[in-house]
A and B are shown apart, each in its own frame.
Chain A
């Protein structure tokens, strides 16, 4: 295997991509391309045989409810491989529906339970009404801006690190001010928008962490992010 090539694995590219989550893959790809770093994108649909330890960065998004059930089954089936990849330091960005499945369980409105894989010590309960709007989150990687649209409320257990603190919007739920979760190099979030294009420092953090395992310590050349920050600024000012 040629490890000089950075491998981005896009999990469930069709089923879990309803809020432009493909934008995250486009962003990681372009930011490697602009730095002349060779890369490839592996599409991993539901049911595909794929070893996530061969990837440097894994990206997955949100889906419609019907897709979520099918995807949940697939996630449980690959749970061993997923957890091994998280433990090995592969970088993950899991958004919305996939983020929920990386917790311990998802409890639907009718009380039925979808088991998760427990990468995050968290539980999601289907709530009354959807949480919709632009979000601003203060994180270790600066201010993150995105758009949330979710019915599930995620509660982190004590000791589970969050991605950041909500300054505007709701994040994980409408009770705490936490947004997202972080375990090792695995980041869970409710932010769409897509999240990475408007938060280039977060995109680069994922690249650095993901590449560290097989590509040695990584220093990324800075890029001109003026347009990225302008878009984040305009989104932050919207309801």
Chain B
């Protein structure tokens, strides 16, 4: 206990000093505390009465986590959660430390933590999760994550270690992780077919039937303003909700969150209605006012996520201003080859105007050229953003589609100070 308290105290002090000297957003408290007590995470989570829920997967972690936290809080459960930028061990340790007093977590009934899919196997044994939610598994930045099978292996370890799981019945890579004790979420055929999973994109050629009969079924996902109307069928009940985030993929996230919430004892109707309150997570379908225009920030990290974003663009009224910002920093993935797996050809003749920006703007412009789409290029994110807004009419919705670090820079331009809270550990 003494060791834990020392570790936590020194970690905090280091974080305080780091902020004092202006190094800000850092995982230093968690990093230092883990050096002094390698079991700091295990010990702190043991003091959370309702245990830990882990949300992992390739796409939709942040939104699903936020939805689940909202549902639990709405039903009166105080929940500790982490910003998406701190979903590795040291970030999780930092979050736990900041919520602790004398070696115990105080004031929270439960923790809902988003965990990076590559870090989740090592962290699961330390977090001893009561529930693991897996949104989907798709090929991601290969220079960071390696092959999809490697990632599936990591997530499989976490699922097997948990008491219960909430799994995507429509994604065969996720469904294969089932070891019983599973609540399944999925969608009706019409929606499922619009979300081709990776085995369809890269592997076996035939569309398969869902691996399991879903307990929570997304029956409707229909765009409505900047968001959408969805319908979920769960345990014989049909629940309607209006989400503030667009896209069928967010309908899937809602199904996952509601499945998890119900599994944790939340009334289905409460879980569904809480979705309506939830604003978009940073950069994930978030609409921000900028110079009289509305900017929809759609983070993209991999082909499957980008293809989903493209569906929103094909549905947008022409002409819409679209800015794609591609960086190749470590957190974005240094290899931009994956842009060639995104079906930009679907946007040929869309009537939209495309701009490209970011460190690899030229690669993006070239990809669009071979997709039959003309674009203008300005590597500077600020001037590119202003040019995009200026080209739209007052009040119009414009789309900004950035990779991770480009998204953080865009947020800083759109909402000065906001990116720091995404990054604070």
Contacts and interface: CB of A to CB of B under 8 A. Distances in A.
Interface of A: 14-15, 17-23, 26-27, 30, 45, 64-66, 132-134, 147, 149, 192-194, 197-198, 227-228, 230-231, 233-235, 238-239
A234 B202 contact: no
A18 B142 contact: yes
Contact of B362 (A21, A192, A194, A231): A231
Contact of A234 (B335, B341, B362): B362
A67 to B, nearest CB: 8
B143 to A, nearest CB: 5
Contact of A228 (B205, B341, B366): B366
B359 A238 contact: yes
B19 interface: no
Contacts of A27: 370
A168 B2 CA distance: 52
B340 A234 contact: no
B365 A231 contact: yes
Contact of B366 (A14, A15, A17, A197): A197
Contact of B369 (A65, A132, A192, A227): A227
Nearest to B144: A132
A26 B370 contact: yes
Interface string B46-59: 00000000000000
Given A64-B147, A197-B340, A17 B202 contact: yes
Contacts of A231: 360, 362-363, 365-366
B424 interface: no
Given A17-B202, A26-B370, A66 B340 contact: no
17 contacts: A14-B204, A18-B142, A20-B338, A20-B341, A22-B340, A23-B367, A45-B205, A64-B149, A65-B149, A133-B334, A149-B335, A197-B367, A227-B365, A227-B369, A231-B366, A234-B359, A238-B334
**Closest 8 pairs (CB-CB, A-B):** A23-B340, A20-B340, A20-B337, A231-B362, A231-B366, A19-B337, A230-B362, A64-B147
A117 B360 CA distance: 37
A192 to B, nearest CB: 5
A69 to B, nearest CB: 12
A27 B363 CA distance: 13
B148 interface: yes
Given A66-B149, A227-B366, A14 B142 contact: no
Interface in B347-372: 359-363, 365-367, 369-372
Interface string B190-217: 0000000000011111000000000000
B90 interface: no
Given A18-B202, A23-B340, A233 B362 contact: yes
B362 A238 contact: no
Nearest to A147: B335
B422 interface: no
Contacts, number: 95
Contacts of B340: 20-23, 26, 194, 197
B335 A192 contact: yes
B339 A20 contact: yes
Contact of B335 (A14, A19, A198, A230): A19
Given A27-B370, A132-B143, A197-B370, A22 B341 contact: yes
A14 B365 contact: no
B205 A14 contact: yes
Contacts of B372: 30
A30 B338 CA distance: 19
Nearest to B303: A20
Contact of B370 (A18, A23, A134): A23
A64 B146 CA distance: 9
B226 interface: no
Nearest to A198: B366
Contacts of B366: 197-198, 227-228, 230-231
B244 interface: no
Interface string B126-163: 00000000000001001100011100000000000000
Nearest to B142: A149
A132 B328 CA distance: 13
A16 to B, nearest CB: 9
Contact of A23 (B142, B147, B337, B362): B337
B333 to A, nearest CB: 10
Contacts of B369: 227
A14 to B, nearest CB: 5
Contacts of A228: 366
Given A26-B340, A45-B205, A18 B147 contact: yes
Nearest to B338: A20
A132 B361 CA distance: 21
Given A18-B139, A22-B340, A45-B205, A238 B367 contact: no
Contacts of B371: 26
A127 to B, nearest CB: 15
A42 to B, nearest CB: 15
Contacts of B365: 227, 230-231
A134 B143 CA distance: 11
Nearest to A133: B334
A53 to B, nearest CB: 25
